[in-house]
Structure formats: C-alpha cells, structure tokens
Structure 1
Amino acid sequence: MYEHFYGLSERPFAITPNPRFVFLSRRHQDALAHLLYGVGTGGSGGFVQLTGEVGTGKTTLCRLVLEKVPENTRVALILNPMLSPPELLRAICSELGIEVADAGQSMQQLLDKLYRYLLERHAAGERVVLIVDEAQNMSREGLEQIRLLTNLETATDKLLQILLLGQPELRELLAKPELRQLAQRITARYHLDPLNRDETAAYVLHRLNVAGASRCPFSDKALRTLYEVSGGVPRLINIIADRTLLAGFARESERIDPGLVRSAAREVSGDDDPETGGGGWLRGVVASAVVVAVLAGGAWLAWTLTETPPSESAAVPQPAWQAVLADSSPESAAVEAAAAWPGLNRRGVAEACASSEPVIDGVGCVSLRGNWAYIRQIGLPAILRLPDGSGGLERQVLLVGMLGEQLLLRYQGQELRVPAGQLDRWWLGDFYVVWPDTGALLRPGQSGSAVAQMKDLAARLETGRWTGGVDESYDEAFTRWVQTFQRRNGLRDDGMIGPVTRLFLKAPHLDGPSLMLDLNGAG
C-alpha cells in the first residue's frame, strides 16, 4: 500500500523470513560463527548452545546455518521439541531418512537403528548434526535423552553433533542440578542480545535499500525513537516500522518523525489510552488509508475497463501532453537531457544511463525510485521512465519543473504543463538523474580544494549540515559525517565521496540547471 509513496519495490519490514533481507550485525556474525563451529569439527561431539530473546534472529541464523553446511554433512532439524523421548527419537530418525516401519518399536530398537546409521555415515566420511530449535520447551526427560545421544561414538570420535537453540529460559533450565551432566557437555555458549542503537539504524537502512529505497524516510530522531520503543529486537523493529510507514502514507508524510513512531509502537503494543485517545487515532488514519487505497484501486479498474482503445477514439481530442508521452522514447529524452547541460551530448547520456556504472566518459547517470516530493528534494531535471503497457520500448520524458500539482515536461524543445495526478496513471516512480561528472573519488586522508568544496556544500545543507569548518583536510570527523549523510540518504556508507554522494551534496547544482519550482509564465 505505501510502497509507491516511499519509492519502494516491496515491503521492507515483513516479518516472514526472507534471505534477501538478512542483516548480520557484529553479534549476529559471532552467533553464526558459534553455530558453524558446532557444525564443523570444532564441536568435538559436545553441545553448542545459542540463546536469545524472542525475535532477536535465532531462527534466521538457523536458516543461514542450513544454507552453509558442507556437502558431507547430514542435518536433522527439530522445530517442535515438546515430545516424549520415544517421539523425539522417531522425529530424529524421520529427519535423517531412517526408516522406522513399526510404530511399536522400543526405545532400544530406535537407538540401534540410529547408531547403525551414524556408523555408516562416519565410515563414509560424513558428519551428522542435530539442531533443536525452541529447546527451552523440552522436558527434563527429553533433554536427558538428547544427552544420551552424545554417548553414540567410536573409539576416537563422537558420531553426533548437537546444537540447542532457545530463549533465555534454556539457560535457566540447564542450570538446574539434575541437568548438570548435560550442562557440562556444552562446549560453546552464546547469548544473542538485541541490536544497539547504531545497529538498529543500520538494520533499517539495510532493509530499505534491499526493498529498492533511494532514501530513508525516517529522520535520525525517528530512528533513535524506533530503537527505544523496540529495544533493538529485530522482529519488533519490523512490526513497528511497517506500521509507521503505513501511517506515514496515510498522513502523506514524506519524513517519519519520532511522534509517528511512538504512536505506531503504542498501537502495536495495545497501550492506547481510551481516555486520552492514545494511539487510537492511528487506527482511524490507517483504516482511512485502506479505504482510500481500495477506492483508488476500484477507480483505476473502472478507468481501465472503460478506456476506449486508441483505434476507436481517433476522433476524440487528446491533450498535447498525452501525445508527447505516446511519442517519447529514451532517445528523445536523452536529447533533451543533453540540451539542458552544457557540454553533454545525446550519445553520452544514452550510454551512461544504459550502464551499471554511475559515470561513463564524464557523464553521470543514476537510476532512482521515489515520488514527486523526492524529485523535488533532489532538485535537478529528471528523466521520467514510463513503462509501455503494450510491452514495447520504455517511454522516457524529461521533467524540468514542478509547482504544486503541476509538472513541466520538455519534449522537442517545447514545454508542456501536465497535472501530476494524471501522469500518475503512467508513472510508477522510476527516473534517471543526469549530470556532468569526472568520476573522481575523494577518500579519507586526502586533502585539497576538492575536499574544501565538498565541506562547503555539506555546510550549506538545510538539515544535518556539516559544522566542523571548511578546510582542505578529509579528516576522521568529516569521514564520520559523510557516512551519516550517506545512511540518511540511503546510499552505501563507505565514507568516500563519489559521483552519487556528490549528487546528493548538490555539487552538480553549482553549474547546472535546477528543477524549476515556480512555473509562472512557463509553458
């Protein structure tokens, strides 16, 4: 629902696991290393224990382990350990593909079959790993049965490596005196803490980037608030951030502020105060957004069903801008973009925008996705990319001005006014920005007039400006500022100033055409 409004290709904060969105903080990397240690020979047949609060990412790490296990490793994964010892043994055999034909087989018979299987795999040079998720739910008898499995061994090697994943209650359970024999066999322990404040911000930006965002709609204060209300728990971050974006869309808020995050958090937790209104307004706003989206979808469907095919409407007068869209092409847009910048030519623009590199032969071109407000924020003419519904060549036209709901397009040297609401029927949010650029890369530790120019531009920004003074030194403080600036704008936070970072610092604006924001007298 809110994806188009914020320039996203998909929802970035869905709670269903998706490998594309995996974010490994330093502590997640350490936890993964412990699990892989258990899968490898380092476990030496003992237990490896991973604990963490609900929603911190234990199951996600388990999935990563399953993707990274060596080819010579067999894995049995038990997701529901609330089983009796016989049921647990049957489940393990089933996971490993061991046939257990007779449901009435005794525990000893099940153990014998498992032992023979483990010996066969050991002889074949393979390892067998048992992973038990939600292990805090196991009974004392079940844990004792798991411990006994570590007795399956040869004269030199343990035949089964066991990983226990669970909530913090697992640590308390294993601390009981009656389970001390199992606790003594744990060779590696790791407790997965929630993300800290910086990691929470990096987590949010990572998921937004994967979802196609070209900028971060959350302000720095909103990100700090998101950390405070979620406690850094990834699952809570996802739920609250998703609810916040939906509410922001409903209120048409380009930037998410702390108040909106807190309201979403209250709504999610059910802490609304019926006497004061609490976050109850958010339900109304979100409900309204849903209704508007449904009505808009119905209106679009009605329009598509009643739209007369071009062949049958030749006699109906058509606005000039619609004819322009029908004739526009990447070549015509490249011509107009080159004409807007001294020194550029059509071929250079076309080659730069067709390349995956940000700069080709002195021409910078970056593909972005957003809404009209985002283009206004960038402040340069933009090549709008309009998909051809018939499956033909993508339509492209140059946007040179904006004022309220009116847009100014340039085609074959002519400028035409277009209502933004009507162009929304065709435009899905994709656009190019073109500008001259040398492709130079400024790095920390360098010095010179180019660094001073970037500091001067950074000091002119309206929000989050650089306040450390303008000199020629690319020092550590400026590096940190650049990284923060890059994260705020959804860029790779490498701390270096390349073409795209220069674009967002508004370096091309110094000598080039700005997006016209006053259309009086134009067109």
Structure 2
Amino acid sequence: MYESFFGLAREPFSVAPDPRFLYLSKQHRDALGYLNYGLRRAGGFVLLTGEIGAGKTTVWRAFLEQLPPRLDVAYVVNPKMSVQALLKRLCESLQVELPADADRPGAEADLIDALHGHLLLAHAQGRRTLVVVDEAQALALPVLEQLRLLTNLVTNEDKLVQVLLIGQPELRQLLEHPEMAPVAQRIVARFHLQTLSRDETEAYLVHRLTVAGLTGPLPFEDEAIRRIHRLCRGTPRRINVLCDRAMTLAAERGQLRVDRALVDQAASQVFDLPGLRRVGPGQAARWVAGGAAAVLAVFALTRLLPPWQTAGATVAAASTPSTASAPSSPSAPVSAVPASALAATAVPPSPSAGKHVASAASPASPPPVTASAAPLPHGLQPYDSQAEAGDTLASQVFGQHLPESEAWTRLARRWNPAFTPTADPCAELPRQGLRCHSSQGGLGPVRLLDRPGWLLLTGPDGRSTRVLLEGLQGDQARLSLANGRTLTVPLLKIAPWWQGEFHTLWRSPPAYAGDGVLAADGASGTWLAQQLARLDGGPAQDGAEGLALRIRAFQMAQGLRPDGLPGPLTLMRLNHATGVSEPTLAGSAAAR
C-alpha cells in the first residue's frame, strides 16, 4: 500500500464510514444540528437524505457517538423486510424477549405488545428510544405505516419512540405519495446533504490526509484537485475511490505528487468514463495528422502576412476546425500557443503562461494580456504579482518585526476603527465588549472560528514576526505585514513557518465576566436561552439542565467538543450563527 510511501499512519481514503474522517463542512455541521434538533423534539420522524456517497451514513455514525447515554437505539440496516420481520428486528435490537410464537403468521400484534411493554418500562426508568432505518428509500409502504403507528405509542405526556430515516433522494419522493401523508406530517426535522464544492473538495482531501497522519505538503497538485472535483462531482465516496487509486499509482511510480495525468489514469481504471479510455492507433494517427495540418497552416500564414496581422491570423488559423483534427482538450497547455496569439485572444492564460508571455514580448509588440488567477476577495492579487522584482516571500514577510501589542491593536481596529493604542490592548478591550483569545490547533480552528487574527511566524533563519490573517479563501491566505503591506499567498508557502498558534478577538455578551465560561443562570443564562431560541425554536427561558442540553446540541452541530459549557469557542460560534456583527475571513463586518 501507499501509506508508508507518503508517510501516513493509516489509510486516508477508505470508503468505510469512519467518524474520525468526517469532514465537517458547513452543511455537515448543519446536518448534525438538524439531527440534534429533531432528537430534542422527542417524537415523530427525522429525515436525512442525500445522493449516493454524499456521507449520510458517516454523519449518522458521528451523531451516534455523541448521543446521550440514556438513549436506546435500534438500528435497521436491511429495510427490505416485512412488517413482522421489522418488529422482530426491533425487539432483538432493544433486547426485548420475543413471544414464543413470534414466527407464526399474524404475530404482529404480540410483537407490538412486547415492544410497548418494554418502552413503557424504559420510559419509567428515564430512558428514550430511537429507531434508525438506513437506506430507507427501500422501505415498503406497509412498513413505513407500521413505523408511524409505533410513533403513536405514548404516555400521558411523552411519545415513546422516535424514528430517524436515512436514505437517497427517492425517499423524499416516497414520502410525497398520498398514502404517506400521515408519515410526512410527522416529520419534525429534515435535511438533504448536497455534494461538495471545489473548495470543499480540497478541504476534504486536506482533512482526510491530516487525520491519516500527513505532516508535509498536500500531495495533490491544484490542477489534479480541480480534475478530481469535476470527475467525482463533489461526491465524497467517489473522491475516496479515485484518490485512493491515484495515490497507489503515484507510489508505484515513486512520485510524491499526484498530477492531472495520474488522476485521469486512475479514473480510467475505477470509473467507466468514455472520455478517459485509451485512444486507439487509428484515432491517434488522425489527431497527429490534424495537428500537423494546423501547424503547417499557421506557419504559412506567419510567412505570408505582415507582422502586425500575424497575431490575429494565428488565432484565426488555430481556431478553425479541421476535418482531421480532434476536439480541443481543456488540458492543452497555454504556453504551447505563441505569445502573440495570447495577446490577441480575449481568454486570459494561466499564471505560468502569463509570465512566459511577459518575458517573450518584444519592445515593439503591444502590451500582452496579464495573467491572473481566480478572483480573490477585495480585489487582491497573488503575491507573485505584488512582489517587487527580485524580492522573495521570506524577505517580505520577515523584513520587519511587529510587536505583540501592535498586532492586537491592528486587529482591534477591525472591530473598532477608532480604537486607541495602549501598552496592553487585551486589558483595555473588555471595556469595549471585546475579548482576546488564543488557540493552538492549526488551520482547523481558524476555519471554524472564521475571523481575522494574527499568527506568529518563524523563518528558516530563526527570525520571528507577526502577521495579520485578514482573509482566507480556499488555499489562499490574505496577510497584512508589519509594514502595512498586504499579500495573498498560498497556505503551503507559510505552513513551514507557522506552529499552529492563532490569536483573535470576539465580541462577548453583556454578562460575561471573562473567567472562561458564561454562567448558565441569572441574566447570562437568560441571554443564552434567548440566543439559542433563535436557532432551535426552544424556550426563551430554560433551567440549567435544559440549557446545558441545548448548548451541547449546538456544540455538536458546530463541530465543537460537546461539553455543554458555554466557553469562548461556543460563544464565538453562537455569535456567528445568530448574526452578531463581527469581521470574518471572507469579508469585513461593521463593528457595533
């Protein structure tokens, strides 16, 4: 296997639903939040749907590890069963003694009586019961109806059974069936998992490889990641299969980087994609012939036309289809096109091609089109295009020293532009409702907190400096240096200099005493309940025990450790979820 070749401790792209590898994108956190919200309703149905391989079972298993200890769970993995088989499966899962003749036809009533007696006893002991059905789109209508009837088992105050249905999009269609209206009306929470975006795909790769033990740079090139997302359409299971094969091929070849060609080769082996199948000799010969014809046509035009018409004619000849030529490939290198052609075309070249054009243009030529990467927030440019000639990134970053008090002051002005510098900003800021916070944990907490902060960087020669992290988009970080200059750099460029510390600010609630955890009673408890009520629809006033359960549910939904204590991380995410105005890494928010 390739684990040892890449220095990994375990397999990173297993298709097994291991909660350790759960990538908590925003929608995954939302899914966990909806599951917790539905569980708190203590009755009815909760619905989790998604495309094949979107991560439904993985989310459920992560949710299962965080369930309260006094919750009994019956898990149905094979939904293609009769009503009687379902009732027997539930009895076995809940360790209910089966009636002596449970296998005889028509024993459903006896099985329901046995279940009802068990559920009443469990309720008297303060226990609750959750029935989970995976692949629920395969349920027969009579079985779904029986599950509905089970949710009708109640005491004078509480329902005894709650049902979680996990399935593909067809499950939603099934519930729209007129006969299923009684079931659909009992759904108290539902969530549909979408596929991953391109940026989420990259973050997903980084997360899984980090969990697997990766300590060096990401072994996938940017173009390879874009190709993976396109081929897999953002589906995690397909991403796992493709990346596993691509890294195997890379290890077999002894190369530490996975490029687009390797991804295409891996895809041709694991997916049935006609566009990636091996090209036959006849087709290859036709492609070569067509390419040769195009080259001859371009050569003839450049010899016959005046220099000032060469560029336009070159583009025209290159864009004219030939009967023998193959369709243009999106992966054709831009640098293969003459610089004059790039200057005339309206499509901007890649960054590397742009540098080639600039160096190849003669003094008499018109200014070439400048290369640009994908748009960055606030109109920023990559650091290469901002750096002066001959400067290196290290010399720019470590050219000046930024004192800690100045780093906090600059950060405070993102929350309050009128903040006056002091010798100890963190002692002054609480008077303005702001608190300093420092954490250690790398990029994960930074993305989770989603707010500007400052980083301590140590260069290869031992020099240290502080930089402000003002923005984060994908693998690009927007940094403000000691001299006030702003650069946008790839995270991999600064990763060797950063030890994982992150220092930031947050807006604390009025009753916060600054001792680490907000009190869950009195005025602060009322404030907490009111904020949570905006999110979970619960009461605006709650007792300490009920409030702790709600905080725990919120923490699980946000990807935090579910300890039920409203500490700074929980309060920061609560600010974010309830719309408190604070700066973010995606853009600025007006302080108030």
Smaller-chain TM-score bracket: 0.5 to 0.7
Quote the offset at 1:136 in angstroms: 0.5
Indicate the residue corresponding to 1:180 in structure 2. 181
* 1:240–1:486 Cα change, 3 Å: farther
Q: TM-score, normalised by structure 1?
A: 0.56
Contact 1:445 1:474 in 2 (8 A): no
Indicate the residue corresponding to 1:113 in structure 2. 114
After superposition, residues 89-100 of structure 1 pair within 5 angstroms as: 89-100=87-98
Separation in 2, partners of 1:59, 1:12:
18
Indicate the residue corresponding to 1:225 in structure 2. 227
The alignment partner of 2:60 has SS state of helix
* 1:492–1:470 Cα change, 3 Å: closer
Indicate the residue corresponding to 2:242 in structure 1. 240
Contact 2:43 2:160 in 1 (8 A): yes
Separation in 1, partners of 2:122, 2:8:
48
Indicate the residue corresponding to 2:13 in structure 1. 13
After superposition, residues 230-309 of structure 1 pair within 5 angstroms as: 230-271=232-273, 273=277, 276=280
**Match for residue 70 of structure 1 among 63, 68, 71:** 68
Separation in 2, partners of 1:66, 1:471:
47
Contact 2:249 2:262 in 1 (8 A): yes
Deviation string 1:46-95 (CA, Å, 9 cap, x unpaired) is 11100011111111111112111101111111111111001101101111
Separation in 2, partners of 1:202, 1:492:
19
Contact 1:215 1:490 in 2 (8 A): no
After superposition, residues 374-393 of structure 1 pair within 5 angstroms as: none
Separation in 2, partners of 1:486, 1:220:
17
Separation in 2, partners of 1:434, 1:120:
65
Residues 1:437 and 2:453 aligned together? no
Separation in 2, partners of 1:260, 1:84:
47
Separation in 1, partners of 2:241, 2:4:
19
The alignment partner of 1:442 has SS state of strand
Quote the offset at 1:438 in angstroms: 5.5
Deviation string 1:18-48 (CA, Å, 9 cap, x unpaired) is 3332211111111111122233x22x41111
* 1:258–1:121 Cα change, 3 Å: same
Residues 1:165 and 2:166 aligned together? yes
Quote the offset at 1:7 in angstroms: 2.6
* 1:116–1:152 Cα change, 3 Å: same
Indicate the residue corresponding to 1:131 in structure 2. 132
The alignment partner of 1:145 has SS state of helix
Indicate the residue corresponding to 2:425 in structure 1. none
Matched residue pairs, number? 319
- Tell me which stretches of 4 or more aligned residues in structure 1 moved more than 6 Å: 464-471, 489-496
Indicate the residue corresponding to 1:154 in structure 2. 155
Quote the offset at 1:163 in angstroms: 0.5
* 1:442–1:273 Cα change, 3 Å: closer
* 1:79–1:246 Cα change, 3 Å: same
Counterpart of 1:69, as a letter, is: L
Separation in 2, partners of 1:220, 1:473:
30
* 1:491–1:212 Cα change, 3 Å: farther
Contact 1:444 1:474 in 2 (8 A): no
Quote the offset at 1:240 in angstroms: 0.3
Separation in 1, partners of 2:498, 2:140:
49
Instruction: Give 5+ residue unaligned stretches, structure 2.
Output: 282-457, 504-592
* 1:154–1:226 Cα change, 3 Å: same
* 1:491–1:445 Cα change, 3 Å: closer
Indicate the residue corresponding to 1:390 in structure 2. none
Counterpart of 2:50, as a letter, is: G
Instruction: Give 5+ residue unaligned stretches, structure 1.
Output: 278-432, 447-463, 497-523
Q: Please provide the CA RMSD for this pair.
A: 3.2
Contact 2:217 2:492 in 1 (8 A): no
* 1:19–1:233 Cα change, 3 Å: same
* 1:486–1:157 Cα change, 3 Å: farther
* 1:174–1:490 Cα change, 3 Å: farther
The alignment partner of 1:444 has SS state of strand
Contact 2:19 2:59 in 1 (8 A): no
Deviation string 1:385-441 (CA, Å, 9 cap, x unpaired) is xxxxxxxxxxxxxxxxxxxxxxxxxxxxxxxxxxxxxxxxxxxxxxxx996536654
Counterpart of 2:47, as a letter, is: Q
Separation in 2, partners of 1:20, 1:218:
21
Deviation string 1:103-143 (CA, Å, 9 cap, x unpaired) is 34621111111111111111111111111111001111111
Residues 1:472 and 2:476 aligned together? no
Counterpart of 1:73, as a letter, is: L
The alignment partner of 2:469 has SS state of coil
Contact 2:220 2:258 in 1 (8 A): yes
The alignment partner of 1:164 has SS state of strand
Contact 1:131 1:163 in 2 (8 A): yes
Indicate the residue corresponding to 1:85 in structure 2. 83
* 1:218–1:486 Cα change, 3 Å: farther
* 1:492–1:86 Cα change, 3 Å: farther
* 1:258–1:156 Cα change, 3 Å: same
Contact 1:128 1:159 in 2 (8 A): yes
Which protein has greater RCO, CA pairs closer than 8 Å, 6+ apart? 1
Contact 1:221 1:257 in 2 (8 A): yes
Quote the offset at 1:160 in angstroms: 0.7
Contact 1:50 1:190 in 2 (8 A): yes
